[in-house]
Structure formats: C-alpha cells, structure tokens
A = this chain, B = another copy of it.
Amino acid sequence: MTLRTLLVLGDGLPRQLERLSPRVEVVHAGPPGAASLAEELPGADVLLVWDFTSDAVRDAWPAGDAPVPAWVHTASAGVDRLIFPGLVDSPSVLTNARGVFEQPIAEYVAGWVLAMAKDFPGTWRLQQRHDWRHRETMRVAGSRAVVVGSGPIGRACGVTLAALGVGVELVGRTGRDGDPDFGRVHAADALSGLLPGADWVVCAAPLTDSTRGMFDAAAFGRMKSSARFVNVGRGPLVVTADLVEALTAGRIAGAALDVFESEPLAADDPLWDVPGLLVSPHMSADTFGWRDALAEQFLDNFERWSAGRPLLNVVDKRLGYVPVG
C-alpha cells in the first residue's frame, strides 16, 4: 500500500518521524489550525493526531461522503476526542498509544497511594513551617483498592498496587472470571457494592457515554470517610462539584487528580485550594522519553500499514477503547 499523504496534527514531533519523509508527503496541520486540517483531511491517507488535546479533528472532519483518511492514529491512550459520529461512522481505522503509558501511570498512582497513606503532603507543609510533628500513618499492605478500568492502564495500576500488598478489585465494563492477574474482573454494575470496602478508589476508565460522570455524589457517598479517590482517566469521568463537596464535607479523606474537566486549570480555579485535594497537571504518563516512545510506536504501526499487515492497537469505535483479551 502506498501512501499519498501523512497529515500530522500538532507540533513538537520527535526527530524519528523525519524518517518517513522520503517515503510519504508529510503535511503538518499544527499548531491546531482547523482551517488547513479541513482542507487537507480529504486528501490524506493517514492522520497522525500528535496533539490529542484539541477538538480540531472533530471540527474539521469531512461531512457526508467526502473521502477520509483510511487510518487515524492518536498519540494518546484515551480516544474520547475522536469518538464522534463522523469518524465512528466512517471507514477510518483508529489506533491509539496503548503500551506506552501503562507503567508510568501505574507508578504515579502507587506513588500517590503511598504519599497519601504516609501523609507526605502534611509532612511537607510541616517542613515549610519548621514544625517537627510525629504522626502515626497508614500501612498500605493489607489495605483495599477498587480500580475502575480493566484496560491496560487499570490493569497496570492494579498489578502495581497488588505488588505493594494491596488487595485489588478490578472493575471493567463487563465481568469475567479466570483473569490471570485478578481472578475475577467485576462488571460495572458491581461497583457501588465494592465502594464501601475500598481504602483507595482509582479511576482509570476510558471516557465514554456510559462512564461520563460515573463518580458523582452517589458514588462518593458510598465510600468510607477514610477513603481516597484517584483519577488518572479523564476529567469528565468525575462530577467535579460532587467531589469538591465530598472533600469539603469530609465524606472522603482525600483525592488526587491528574485530569480535569477543563485543562489546564486556570490560576483562579477553586480546585487548587480544595482541602485534601492533590492537583497534578496531566503528567502521570509522561516519563522522560515518552515522546520518543510514542514516535517509535507510530513508526512500527506505519511499517505494518505499509506492508499491508494488520495494525496494532485498533480501537473499537463503538466501545471507545481497544478491547483487551
């Protein structure tokens, strides 16, 4: 299969991608310029969505029966910004960056769990005040976590927490037994029954119509007052106002968010100052070299595409993620 055009949305591409230049015409449509994207999309065989933070693709997608790229790849794990009717209903194959982010995110979540268990934020506040104050803190081994999201990121979070001695219950869209790591994976409708037993509730779910707003007042109301909530999925999985209310009223003990309904947070956003809330600027996945890893992953898939072999990480556009196992 020969490529006419590789259309790239986004700036700051790693040098590796220059390797493609002799073989295909590379057209850049970033920083987000919906105008040129709209003009170029119908003539492109492949769209590489390097900047996955904008809605430019949705805005520029060809209407009706106009030609569309045969393959769309996004340099992200979440594909929520690409799951719109035009693309879903089109013949475009959609792939994502599954495989790059799992381990870093799992480490970030484990770090947060340990940091909250040991009250590191409190210790650092006390250090700023030169205040030596011994406290007793929580043992992590033997505590219990519910991880929501049975894709690679949720699984990696669960495996890493289990390595620290945490008892992990994994929740996916559908339940299943005989999972090699977790034994049983719970169905989504089991979540409310699991929440009261959790010391840690970790959200690593994809953002879809059925997960949007799943962490709301009712969910926080079922958690223990000592529970902590972590979100490394997408901001709109959480009803932020309900989380703030739960923290402010002491209904749960703490939370850590790496994703938000609107990013970046504005300097005057009240979330920065909510008691017990750790704010992190959507960086849990981004370890040194992550851009190189994303580039290599795209190049590998590009070789498959060029050779007519099946692509890796093909998203089920109806589900909104890459089905696992």
Contacts and interface: CB of A to CB of B under 8 A. Distances in A.
11 contacts: A111-B118, A115-B120, A123-B278, A127-B272, A131-B267, A132-B263, A134-B283, A135-B281, A138-B287, A138-B288, A163-B164
Interface string A156-170: 000010011100000
Contacts of A136: 283, 286-288, 290
Contacts of A124: 121, 124, 278
A173 interface: no
Given A281-B134, A283-B137, A288-B139, A117 B111 contact: yes
A187 interface: no
A278 B269 CA distance: 28
Contacts of A135: 281, 283, 286
A130 B280 contact: no
A313 B166 CA distance: 28
A52 to B, nearest CB: 14
A212 interface: no
A290 B131 CA distance: 23
A141 interface: yes
A312 interface: no
A133 interface: yes
Contacts of A242: none
A10 to B, nearest CB: 15
A104 B104 CA distance: 24
A265 interface: yes
Interface string A270-300: 0010000011111110111010000000000
Contacts of A287: 136-139
Contact of A281 (B117, B133, B265, B272): B133
A132 B120 CA distance: 21
A29 B139 CA distance: 31
A114 interface: yes
A155 to B, nearest CB: 15
A103 B137 CA distance: 13
A263 B141 CA distance: 28
A107 interface: yes
Contacts of A302: none
A244 interface: no
A157 to B, nearest CB: 13
